[in-house]
Amino acid sequence: MWSQKKPSPPSDQGQAVAVIIFVLGVGTLLPWNFFITASKYFNDRLKESNAVTNSTSGVALKEYNYDSWMALLSQLPQLLFSLLNSFLYQRVKERIRVAFSMIIILLLFSLTAGLVKVEMQPDTFFSVTMATIWFINMFSAVLQGSLFGVVGLFPPRYSTLFMSGQGLAGIFAAVAMLCSILSKPDRHSAALGYFITPCVATLGTLLCYLLLPHLEFAHFYLKRSQFDALETSHKLLDITDVKALNSNGKDVEANDKTCSDSDEGQERSSVFAVFKKIWLMALCVTCVFAVTLSVFPVITVRVQTVYPNPNWEKVFTCVCCFIVFNVMDLAGRSAPSLLQWPSKGSRLFPVAILSRLVFVPLIMMCNIKDSKLIFLSHDCAFVIIMALFSFSNGYLASLCMAYAPQLVRCRDCETAGSLMTFFLVLGLALGASLSFLLGKLV
């Protein structure tokens, strides 16, 4: 029977598409990372405003619990709109969803930067900040879900690049905060410079996204739904990429089956049908981020140094909490390019996921002020725990996100990517909710 010859994928000239997808990964997590890294700025401003207001009224200082509320109000809109995005992605064009979301995030970051030098009552400032966090993360959920779906259309190594970019977003935010601390300007100028940075970065991310469809390599994969099938897609990958992305021959065989002739002429599967194929990976990624958000940053930012050096005390949280976490998280997200173990079919994979629960009590036993659970007080103990905690977060999460599209047909990769994003955010929301309880225990 005669069949139309399938076009061969072009090469990624100068790795331009790889760079752009990496940048898009950075852009999706900038909002979240810039708000958690600025925890000290928001807490200090609330305390100072609160102290001034209550000194005149004689009322006791109000406890705002910024870190817990920030974590929760970041993840609830992420959860709701990731779910919405999973079902409505076919009704609104992906290009509109992504571009509109980036523009709104840019405007909201500009508002946050503008409010740095505006004096406000603590209740008003807290309410405006929480509302900003809610709406930024609402559009960030649509952005992240849409881009995960897009990245799922590319060869698997691009999913790893996207996840690595997300890891770099945290480093970007932490280094920006460290620079603002070390530059020693007045607090308002430092905060203004800090929040202007994501405005520029978001604008750059938007420009990269608009450029992507005009590159030949990206155009081929973004438009491949127009072809009957791409059963040879993995065979046409460079042999180096295949070795890097598949830990053994079984993975290659499974991937080839995903894009077989059975895809020809078929419609996309329902969301539920796709979920039945990826449910284990979805639950695994939920567990990974639930454990992470239960203690980071709500518990980890409370850990203090044992050295009474004012200069070290000033940068301890930024360096040992945020920079260590994000550097090792990035290393973990990048590691699957070199090694993918356990494999997606291994029983050890869910065991490795559940083993991360040990980090919750370990972090709670670090040097937290006024805690009765301190058994690991030294700075080195905290740094080692944070390094292992963050590396395992990035590595296992990246494996989950890379394995899921390999379990479905090519035509269902976008649906799988959107569903995985929903369960990723579900884990974040569960972890943020649990952080309220854990915060009371230390």
- Whether 182 is covered by a domain: the verdict is yes
pTM, to two decimals? 0.74
Is residue 388 within 8 A of residue 360, CB to CB? The reply is no
d(CA 404, CA 23): 22
- Whether 301 is covered by a domain: the verdict is yes
- Whether 227 is covered by a domain: the verdict is yes
Range of the domain at 169: 13-57+65-441
**What is residue 345's predicted lDDT score, i.e. its pLDDT?**
87
Q: What is the 3-state secondary structure (H, E, C) of 337-363?
A: HCCCCCCCCCCHHHHHHHHHHHHHHHH
- pLDDT mean for each 10 residues of the chain (442 residues): 60 89 90 83 80 56 80 84 68 85 93 88 91 91 83 83 84 87 73 87 92 89 57 39 41 42 61 92 96 93 92 92 92 88 91 96 92 90 97 94 88 82 85 88 80
d(CA 329, CA 84): 28
- Whether 389 is covered by a domain: the verdict is yes
- Whether 1 is covered by a domain: the verdict is no
Q: Which two tokens stand for residue 47?
A: 């305390």
Count of H helices and E strands in the chain?
17, 0
State the total domains in the chain.
Answer: 1
**What is residue 253's predicted lDDT score, i.e. its pLDDT?**
37
Is the CA virtual torsion 341, 387, 295, 36 positive or negative? negative
- Whether 2 is covered by a domain: the verdict is no
**What is residue 60's predicted lDDT score, i.e. its pLDDT?**
53
**What is residue 50's predicted lDDT score, i.e. its pLDDT?**
65
Q: What is the CATH number of the domain that holds 417?
A: 1.20.1250.20
Is residue 163 within 8 A of residue 398, CB to CB? The reply is yes
- Whether 4 is covered by a domain: the verdict is no
Q: Tell me how far apart the terminal alpha carbons of the chain are, to the nearest angstrom.
A: 70
Number of C-beta neighbours around residue 60 at 10 A: 8
- Alpha-carbon Rg of the chain, whole angstroms? 22
As a dihedral over the C-alpha atoms of residue 178, residue 181, residue 185, residue 186, rounded to 10 degrees, the angle is 130
At residue 353, φ and ψ (nearest 5 deg) are -65, -50
How buried is 200 (Cβ within 10 angstroms: 0-12 exposed, 13-18 middle, 19+ buried)? exposed
**What is residue 185's predicted lDDT score, i.e. its pLDDT?**
64
Is residue 242 within 8 A of residue 234, CB to CB? The reply is yes
H/E run at residue 100: helix 94-114
- Whether 7 is covered by a domain: the verdict is no
